[in-house]
Structure 1
Amino acid sequence: MNAAAPEGGQRRLRAGVIGLGWAGQQHVAAYAADPAVDLVALSAMEEHLLERFGTEHDVPGRYRDWTQMIAEAELDVVSIATPTFLHEPMAIHALGAGVHVLTEKPMAQTGEAAARMVAAAQQAGRVLDVSFNHRQRGDVTALKDVVDSGVLGKLYYAKTGWIRRQGIPGLGTWFTKAESSGGGALMDIGIHMLDMALHLLGEPAVTAASASTHAEFGPLGRGGSGFGVSQVEEGAPFEVEDLATAFLRLDGGGTLLLESSWAQWIPHDLCYVTLYGADGGATIEWGGDPAHPHQEITVWTEVAGMPAELQPVVGEDGHHAAAVASFLQHVASGDAAAHDGSLALRRARVLDACYASAKAGTEVSVAH
């Protein structure tokens, strides 16, 4: 924890983190490295994680009870990196206490829960952000610059997906229980691709969804992120999908195809976003053999009447640190009304429509 004030003498923000799993650890590292922040409190159920990260970053406040942390630590900002079903109550409690909130994705189990979070942020006049760390990738930033330059012309069609070879997280844990997670692959990794695609497309409203879900690996105890066949815990059935696909209608007549899968018979994991425009097309793709991963970005267009393939310059990936930095910039702006979680709420409404469509077997309008 840094002791010196940043240049300009302004008081540093007092930050806390709830949840010390992998994502929470990324938030801890980001706050600890920021000279404008004092990381003053951590909350987790695991004593060994509180001890480890509290000691590593010299954090004075270490709490098993997150409500006690909110009451006592005098926080300005807090990150929530807990199972999805806890995002809503934790965020609403913190916002009500006057604390700006950054939650991990997905925002909440349902659009209605997300809407209650937005309402709490608006009532409190505090920032509510959701950490979509993958939109901080260097290739996403580069492709957004290409789109904004107008090289592709009007975008009318896009495809995006995240497909894993063997990557169901925590078979038998909260990830695979409907009540605690809200959904499976679509909720966990599909949301990242939906966010990236809509961001690149310029945030068109999604008007309707036609979706389908499947669970072919998880119910058999297969497809876990470990090796071989995982044992499903007794009394903890696989209640969510391990594959989801959706056809999304966009305001203005465009369409977006979305697929996400935790486990599939493919050689290696694959992530991609492909855009089709009137004047050009573009794609970003990453994944492959972990020993030799690939990352590609290509733009196809026409220059002086001749077909041309462009290779944009790609900067470094921002990861969670960039998502935390963006959140802190929103807090510093003083314009909480512009950062009240409404964008993430729109994502949650799309997922609601996808799950409703898959259940009904028909196209469903997206609530707004």
Structure 2
Amino acid sequence: MTTTTPRTTAPLRVGVVGLGWAGQQHMAAYDALDGVELVAIAGMEDGPRAELQEKFGVPNVYSDWKDLVAAGGLDAVSVAVPTFLHAPISVGALEAGLHVLCEKPIARTADEAEAMVAAAQSAGRVLEIAFNHRRRGDVEALKAAIDDGSIGRPYHARATWLRRSGIPALGSWFTNKDMAGGGPLIDLGVHVLDYALHLFGEPRVLAVSAVTHSELGPRGLGGAVSDKQQVGSAYEVEDLASLLLRLEGGGSIVLETSWAAYRSTGDEFGITLYGTDGGADLRVVDYAPSGELTIFRGNAEEEIDVRVEADPGRGHAAVVDTFLEFVADESSWRDHDGSLALGRARIIDAAYESARIGAEVRLDHDLTITDGEAVR
């Protein structure tokens, strides 16, 4: 089914940088829309680039993202490349006057994220980050249940994304600290952090206490060696991370994520929420289109467990739709500058710092975190 995004001007001309799975999600979403033309893609891989050009009927293809931007004729671009390229490509596109939809995480560090947000603000353009898991149907159904008061005020949660043997590729950029910024915490955990804070209603995170472990990856366990995206890197990042977030208003979230750990087989993510009048549990195994969502209500005399059936949701297609809605409304451009994702990056930075120094790190969102201390 074709989705129509309202337009009052000429068709929006978009490009995509990155030819992998995420980039293809963006291409497919743009291609399905009326009023949008996918006119350029960029990526280094000759074979996939030619295949995707033919599949989506893209008139202009480039091996270098700089050529795509310099060619002009675009209104917006999606950035779906390895994390170390997010900041330079996004900043370059914003400085060229393009709106940018970038894959998660926003960047390797909060410093890079701040540069991206500053570029969006200076250019007066939209910078949006693709947090597609909050757009799952089961997460949206859980958010609706919380918002309608089904569990009262949520005060604690355990949010997870765990794999038994899921290091993306041993020796790839994913396992290189400088290129990736970190391991499963910045890769999977940023999704968990996003949907957990979203479900809580975006409270401020006041402090983070974290531990990270790197036990299996350095021994060549928990993942496969693949020719894909190889850089010959040693295993330099964590393979498991556990965080305690202290929230404004007294709430708390325990977040746990792993690429590799001796646990049940498969890929599992979700969240368990405890509220003043009820609770909820969402569990998704092996990327099931819709997970198992249960709402817990009742009292000592009567326990009520309600299983909620949710539609799959639209994931990246919904993310792209929302991005284009922001782009279509010029009055809202300055309200969508990537600041929410910058906040996520600051929390991730604080978590890695906490793990490094072995102590809780407090966040002052107007200050910089250095060695566990807030300095101006």
Letter in 2 for 1:121: A
Contact 1:287 1:294 in 2 (8 A): no
**Cα separation, partners in 2 of 1:225 and 1:73, compared to 1, 3 Å:** farther
Q: Does residue 128 of structure 2 align to residue 132 of structure 1?
A: no
Residue of structure 1 aligned with 2:328, choices 327, 332, 338: 332
Contact 2:171 2:234 in 1 (8 A): yes
Give the distance between the partners of 1:339 and 1:8, measured in 2 at CA: 19
Give the distance between the partners of 1:159 and 1:210, measured in 2 at CA: 14
**Cα separation, partners in 2 of 1:94 and 1:153, compared to 1, 3 Å:** same
Residues 78-87 or 316-325, more deviating: 316-325
Q: Does residue 368 of structure 2 align to residue 344 of structure 1?
A: no
Q: What is the Cα deviation at residue 225 of structure 1?
A: 5.0
Contact 2:15 2:39 in 1 (8 A): yes
Q: Does residue 83 of structure 2 align to residue 84 of structure 1?
A: yes
Give the structure 1 partner of residue 311 of structure 2: 315
Residues 150-159 or 181-190, more deviating: 150-159
Give the distance between the partners of 1:35 and 1:111, measured in 2 at CA: 36
Contact 1:209 1:354 in 2 (8 A): yes
Residue of structure 1 aligned with 2:249, choices 249, 252, 257: 252
Residues 309-318 or 339-348, more deviating: 309-318
Contact 1:6 1:12 in 2 (8 A): no
Q: What is the Cα deviation at residue 191 of structure 1?
A: 0.7
Contact 1:103 1:130 in 2 (8 A): yes
Q: Secondary structure at the match of 1:160?
A: strand
Letter in 2 for 1:342: S
**Cα separation, partners in 2 of 1:277 and 1:44, compared to 1, 3 Å:** same
Q: Secondary structure at the match of 2:61?
A: strand
Matches within 5 A, 1:41-190: 41-190=40-189
Q: Which runs of 5+ in 1 are unaligned?
A: none
Residues 233-242 or 247-256, more deviating: 233-242
Q: Secondary structure at the match of 1:311?
A: strand
Matches within 5 A, 1:158-237: 158-225=157-224, 236-237=233-234
Identity %: 49
Q: What is the Cα deviation at residue 150 of structure 1?
A: 1.2
Give the distance between the partners of 2:364 and 2:180, measured in 1 at CA: 21
Contact 2:29 2:317 in 1 (8 A): yes
Contact 1:41 1:73 in 2 (8 A): no
Contact 1:40 1:73 in 2 (8 A): no
Residue of structure 2 aligned with 1:283, choices 275, 281, 284: 281
**Cα separation, partners in 2 of 1:118 and 1:314, compared to 1, 3 Å:** same
Contact 1:212 1:246 in 2 (8 A): yes
Residues 308-317 or 185-194, more deviating: 308-317
Q: Secondary structure at the match of 1:170?
A: strand
Contact 2:126 2:337 in 1 (8 A): yes
Letter in 2 for 1:174: W
Give the structure 2 partner of residue 301 of structure 1: 297
Give the distance between the partners of 2:89 and 2:217, measured in 1 at CA: 29
Letter in 2 for 1:267: S
**Cα separation, partners in 2 of 1:260 and 1:61, compared to 1, 3 Å:** same
Give the structure 2 partner of residue 360 of structure 1: 357
**Cα separation, partners in 2 of 1:6 and 1:101, compared to 1, 3 Å:** closer
The alignment's TM-score, normalised by the length of structure 2, stands at 0.91
Give the distance between the partners of 2:6 and 2:207, measured in 1 at CA: 49
Q: Which runs of 5+ in 2 are unaligned?
A: 366-376
Give the distance between the partners of 1:331 and 1:125, measured in 2 at CA: 11
Give the structure 2 partner of residue 267 of structure 1: 264
Q: How big is each residue's C-alpha offset from its partner over 1:63-122, in whole Å with a ceiling of 9 and x where there is no partner?
A: 012111111141111000111111111111111111000111110000111011111111
Contact 1:349 1:367 in 2 (8 A): no
**Cα separation, partners in 2 of 1:342 and 1:48, compared to 1, 3 Å:** same
Give the distance between the partners of 1:78 and 1:7, measured in 2 at CA: 19
Give the distance between the partners of 2:102 and 2:128, measured in 1 at CA: 6
Which runs of structure 1 show a deviation greater than 4 angstroms over 4 or more consecutive aligned residues?
5-9
Contact 2:290 2:311 in 1 (8 A): no
Q: What is the Cα deviation at residue 234 of structure 1?
A: 9.0
Q: Secondary structure at the match of 1:134?
A: helix
The alignment's TM-score, normalised by the length of structure 1, stands at 0.93
Give the distance between the partners of 2:104 and 2:231, measured in 1 at CA: 28
